Amino acid sequence: MRCLFLLACLLLSCTQTSAVGSETEDTQFSVPSVMSVGLPDAQSKNQRRKAVERIANSSLAINLIAKDKEGRTRIATIGSAIAVKYGRHNLVITARHVAVSDSDPRLLFACSVKSHDCVSLEPNLVMELQLLPDISKDWAVYKTEVFPKGTIPTQISTEPLKLGDPVWLSGMPWGHHPWVNLGNIAWIFNETGKVQVLGINGFAASGSSGGGVYDEKGFLVGITVAVEISPYAGPQENQVLAVPIRNIWVLNP
């Protein structure tokens, strides 16, 4: 697990420091429309449409507001998130390394990738208390009063995960465009009978962290946290690491 955490850190720091994405001098966010690729011919067009629509409605971009050296306001997309309705609570789920900075406080907004509307993420944050948790605990949950306009929160999948299962990956690679693509669960890391980390042969990049992993119907099964790094070939963009949604103990009864 320590090895996996080190792999994750390479992506995590890239997501935090590159601050890729749109920048502007006011508080208006511009988020492009959702793109989808890699759709299988065997899956009905109607089912694909419903799944992608469900994913797009619940997908969020995480935007950071900061001041530059000249005192101008800069806005950058630094990660992704998912809107989830849990009981009476409105939750925004993302990766811990997107939500937390070691160096300074973060003024973060969750923005709908469809309507461009944004809401402030207040410091009502739940996460693992370990200083350096392993990759299986790289998650953070915000409770918010309202979701951005146009957001329809997702449902959590109740189906067990199996090797070879098709899954959708959503996120904001490089902070530029919302992206939805299809992959498969390539491996499952288990510890004491509990799924700890998913390996997925789909596409993700810096900025995808915190994005949703969904089953083929568009229901949430996990969150993207890292891309595996090869010491020889660099980022392996088809080897995505994800935290199963069941790892998030606040979502378990």
Q: Which residue has the higher pLDDT, 93 or 17?
A: 93
Angle at alpha carbon of residue 33, lines to 96 and 173, rounded to 5°? 40
Query: Positive or negative CA dihedral for 101, 22, 63, 6?
Result: negative
**CB atoms inside a 10 Å sphere around CB 41:** 6
Rg, Å, the chain Cα set: 17
Predicted confidence (pLDDT) per residue in 117-163, tens digit:
999 987 788 887 776 778 899 999 999 999 999 999 998 998 888 99
Q: Determine phi and psi for 26, rounding to 5 degrees.
A: -125, -165
pLDDT at 102 over 60: yes
Q: Cβ distance 220 to 245 under 8 Å?
A: yes
Beta-bridged to residue 188, according to DSSP, are 198
Minimal CA–CA distance to 208: which of 239, 247, 233? 239
DSSP 44: -
The structure's pTM equals 0.79
pLDDT value at residue 190: 81
Element (H, E) at 3: helix 2-18
pLDDT value at residue 23: 34
Q: Determine phi and psi for 11, rounding to 5 degrees.
A: -75, -40
pLDDT value at residue 109: 92
* Residues 82, 93: Cα–Cα separation, whole Å: 5
pLDDT at 215 over 50: yes
Q: Cβ distance 211 to 204 under 8 Å?
A: yes
pLDDT-derived band at 103 (thresholds 50, 70, 90) equals low
In the chain, the domains with their CATH numbers are: 1-20+51-253 (2.40.10.120)
pLDDT value at residue 203: 87
On average, the pLDDT of the chain sits at: 78
pLDDT-derived band at 86 (thresholds 50, 70, 90) equals confident
Q: Cβ distance 14 to 98 under 8 Å?
A: no
pLDDT-derived band at 41 (thresholds 50, 70, 90) equals low
pLDDT value at residue 237: 57
pLDDT at 22 over 70: no
How many percent of the chain have pLDDT more than 70?
72
Average pLDDT value for residue range 162-172: 93
Q: Cβ distance 221 to 244 under 8 Å?
A: yes
pLDDT value at residue 189: 86
